[in-house]
Amino acid sequence: MPPLDHDRCYAAAASRDARFDGWFVTAVRTTGIYCRPSCPAITPKQTNVEFHHTAAAAQQRGFRACKRCRPDATPGSPDWNIRQDVVGRAMRLIADGVVERVGVPGLARQLGYSERHLNRLLTDEVGAGPLAVARAQRAQTARILIETTELTLTDVAFAAGFGSVRQFNDTIREVFAAAPSELRAASATRRDADGAANGAASVQLRLPTRPPFAAVEVLDFIGGRAIPGSERYDGADDQTEQPAVYRRVLDLPGGHGIVDLRTGGTPDAPAADHLVAKVVLTDWADLGTAVHRLRRLFDLDADPQAVDEHLRSQADLAPLVELAPGRRAPASVDPYETAVRAIIGQQISVAGARTVAGRIVEAVGAPLAVDDPVLTHAFPTPAALAEAPDDAFSMPTARRDTIRRLAAAVADGSLRLDVGVDPQEARARLLGLKGIGPWTADYVVMRGLGHPDTPLGGDLGVVHALRALGLDDRSSSVFDACAPWRSYAVHHLWASLDQPPTTSKPTTSKPTTKNPVSSTRTKARS
């Protein structure tokens, strides 16, 4: 990761520019606290501040989180979803809770590095080793549970991943400069004032993102592919003023969870900087993992200004960007599930794929213990799908056998599909399975693994969209010019089939503030 430019970081912090929240934190030596760049407090002298890539790095230096701006409640750095090197993959795995489940040795094994080498790589790049990064995430999860649930503080300690109550108490004091009981007392006052206390059965969270954010468009895209039985989508209703709501089952390490996501604001004016999530979990230790997977599903850590600015520079795509600034490239909560869905969707419509997938979920998926009239089953596990009977698959025999081969490969570990895998390695292994071609493999890389630069060549929707724009669908020149954001170009082209652009001239994009991380905006790394 490029070193932080002190002058540019200070300029961003002095202007309180919220666009840089999550890119770095400002640590103030005279007060011992660290803040997000947009903190409303009086700007300290430039000689009294230092800047760090992550909260974990600031905590390693002994700084505490600012109580006013709450720097742990910002969007994450887009770098970790863009980068495909070992550091980016490590950060994604840590965010997914791997260190809490298998420790640093297990993380190192998944990445194919020694613990010592991995610790050195992360310390050099982000200013903190894997344990420190996981500790910062643990503290954030604990704060959410303290402030939004009625769990006892002892239960919070173990649910957040701490090994003891003493470790929990010490960490919370060090990070937030307050005891857990003090955080709860303060949050109780806020909840009483807001009238929004949550019971122990669920927690409501605000998932921040960087504006602009085409919230309705991304909800419509994901919801339009909802599988009956494990997902449900209700679009916004202007007459009743009900926002768009997406619900789904999550298969998490500690059991199943159910999440409801909706836009903030109103149907007429959805919030441009967050989604609202209601989360119900079997095991509260899964909260951090659930939040991370939801953020990936909705691409909430993206840098939309950088993406839009680049795509607007392509004359053929500029009108599409103007239709929906801040359009995201949604990933998934489970790359394996996405791979199965991609095979189901070969050569059939989206509606047809939903129907077929719903039958498989009902026949093979595990029934949920909760009494929900709509969400009844989890998506089938790899082991269950590999052994499913023929009558569970209402599809051609060849496609059924391909799904079984994929599920068996994931179940026995010969095929890894998770956020820590190298996308190109995963693509090569997918292509090695009979029945999976380039389109399916690329779709899994783009949607399942969240790769931002996948052109998805040969996709029929993309071909039709290019032809509608009067472009040569056999030429790669359009997509080549969109690198390193070709996945976003795919989503704009898909959307254009439902909402063609007007013939008016695109508006001129506003000048953007340069990323303080380096003299140029962060590029995707292959």
| Residues classed as catalytic | 35, 459
Q: Is the peptide bond before 484 cis (omega within 30 degrees of 0)?
A: yes
**Phi-psi category of residue 125: left, alpha or beta, with phi > 0 → left and psi -120 to 50 → alpha:** alpha
CA triplet 151, 231, 93: central angle to 5 degrees? 60
Are 364 and 430 contacting, i.e. CB atoms less than 8 angstroms apart?
Answer: no
Cα 279 to Cα 93, 139, 341, distances in angstroms: 21, 19, 24
Cβ within 8 Å of residue 483, ≥6 positions away: 453, 524
Output the CA–CA distances (angstroms, integers) from residue 492 to 252, 312, 319, 356, in the order listed: 31, 11, 10, 27
Q: Which residue has the tokens 């969870």?
A: 257
Q: What is the CA radius of gyration of the chain?
A: 23
Token pair, residue 170, equals: 């010490």
Sign of the Cα pseudo-torsion (76, 81, 83, 84, in order) = positive
The helix (H) or strand (E) run that includes residue 404 is helix 397-412
Number of Cβ within 10 Å of residue 499's Cβ equals 11
The helix/strand/coil state of 385 is helix
Q: What is the rounded distance in angstroms from the CA atom of residue 337 to the CA atom of residue 369?
A: 21
- Asked if residue 269 lies in contact with residue 292, where contact means CB atoms within 8 angstroms, the answer is no
Maximum Cα–Cα distance across the chain: 70
Dihedral pair phi/psi, residue 212, rounded to 5°: -75, 155
